[in-house]
Amino acid sequence: MFFSSDNAGPVHPQVIAAITTANTGYAPGYGSDAFTQDARQKVRDTFEAPEAAVEFVINGTSANALLLATMSQPWETIFCADVAHIQEDECNAPEFYSQAKLTLVPTVDGKMSPDALRTKIESEQNRGVHGPQRGPLSITQVTEKGTIYSLDEIRALTDVAREFGMKTHMDGARFANALVALDCTAAEMSWKAGIDTVSFGGTKNGALGVEACVIFDPDLAWEFELRRKRGGHLLSKHRFLSAQMQGYLADGLWLDLARAANARCTQLATGLRDYDGLTFQCEPQANIIFFDMPRREHKRMLDGGAFYYVMGGDPHTGDPDGMLTGRLVTDWSVTEDAVQQFVDLLHG
């Protein structure tokens, strides 16, 4: 019953196999190898973006920080959700790389509305040289609350950004989970909806540690490469990063894994929905569930062998009736049995 995070699960064998395949003899370092060339092309094909620059890094924090730094200036502010991963969970990495600051847009169920975005942008207006200047917008898909922007919603946000001359970055740590939920193409969910750059995640969905930075304007590529090297994020044995992406994309594995993770989440939500005293914070749409439940119930679940995060307090001390928030994440490897076991334990 492991639901703590989709980075706690194992690497899919097909990704390991790709690493092993790449481990034959010599290959030039730093991304000049044939594996990298092929992986880049596979990502371009996936996004139907033959001109896009594609570079690989080891994780989502570096992907986000490097892309946002490449899109902004030190005297600008980056607009993002008040619950954004770049705000809450990257220990100032975006600020470190970009030297810019973050302006937080209020959200409902993890999602910004075009109006909320516009209001925030306009509130920064008219200070001339004194205030921070407008930098890019960053949106997260799947959001940090497990919800998903529809294609129209993405377009509405990028339209607002564009109106103010701003570019848009997508933190796609769970890009695949959103894609299969929306049943659309990668192009539709990115550049066709006005997105300029994507952190295209692999790590949370079966890879060992790889994200593709997809930059639809190839003029930014060289700056990105210099920033990556300067950040210490260019791997010497680069083929093993690229090989993961090869394995991840081959035969639609990435979509299969996301479908599996989402399906287990649906199964889980169904099992929890009718449980008295448990409420969802918002309707789960991908592979994450946030739910409120009395401390006593959390304690019972954890003591019963379930693994997941409980927020806002310690389930083992304090008022047993006090409500705490739990987070459940299903990764590709979670089994139907594990989900059932969790549901059964809850219903006790």
Judged by CB under 8 A, the chain residues 101 through 130 that form the site for its own copies are 101-102, 104, 126-127, 129-130
10 CB contacts (<8 Å, ≥6 apart)?
A: 333
Stretch of 46-54, 88-96, 139-147, 265-273 contacting its own copies, by CB under 8 A: 88-96
- Token pair listed for 211: 């994200």
x-marked contacts with its own copies along 232-261 as a string, rule CB under 8 A:
xxxxxx--x---------------------
Footprint of its own copies on 144-203 (CB under 8 A) = 203
20 binds its own copies (CB under 8 A): yes
336 binds its own copies (CB under 8 A): no
Of 309, 313, 314, the C-alpha closest to 291 is 309
283 binds its own copies (CB under 8 A): no
Minimal distance, residue 225 CB to its own copies, in Å: 5
- Token pair listed for 253: 């594995």
Of 181, 256, 243, 169, the C-alpha closest to 207 is 243
Measured CA to CA, the distance from residue 110 to residue 145 in angstroms comes to 5
226 binds its own copies (CB under 8 A): yes
Measured CA to CA, the distance from residue 16 to residue 190 in angstroms comes to 28
Minimal distance, residue 60 CB to its own copies, in Å: 8
Identify which of residues 276 and 337 has a Cβ nearer to its own copies in the complex: 337
Range list of H helices, the chain: 13-22, 34-46, 60-71, 85-88, 93-98, 114-123, 151-163, 175-182, 221-230, 239-249, 253-273, 295-303, 336-347
Q: Residues 21, 34, 37, 88: which binds its own copies (CB under 8 A)?
A: 88
Q: Residues binding its own copies: what is the number (CB under 8 A)?
A: 73
**Rounded to the nearest 5°, which phi and psi values hold at 305?**
105, 5
Identify which of residues 7 and 281 has a Cβ nearer to its own copies in the complex: 7
Measured CA to CA, the distance from residue 328 to residue 268 in angstroms comes to 9
Q: Residues 113, 133, 325, 340: which binds its own copies (CB under 8 A)?
A: 133
Minimal distance, residue 4 CB to its own copies, in Å: 7
316 binds its own copies (CB under 8 A): no
2 binds its own copies (CB under 8 A): yes
Minimal distance, residue 48 CB to its own copies, in Å: 28
- What is residue 160's DSSP assignment? H
231 binds its own copies (CB under 8 A): yes
Identify which of residues 61 and 143 has a Cβ nearer to its own copies in the complex: 61
E-assigned strand segments in 101-209: 101-105, 133-140, 168-172, 197-201
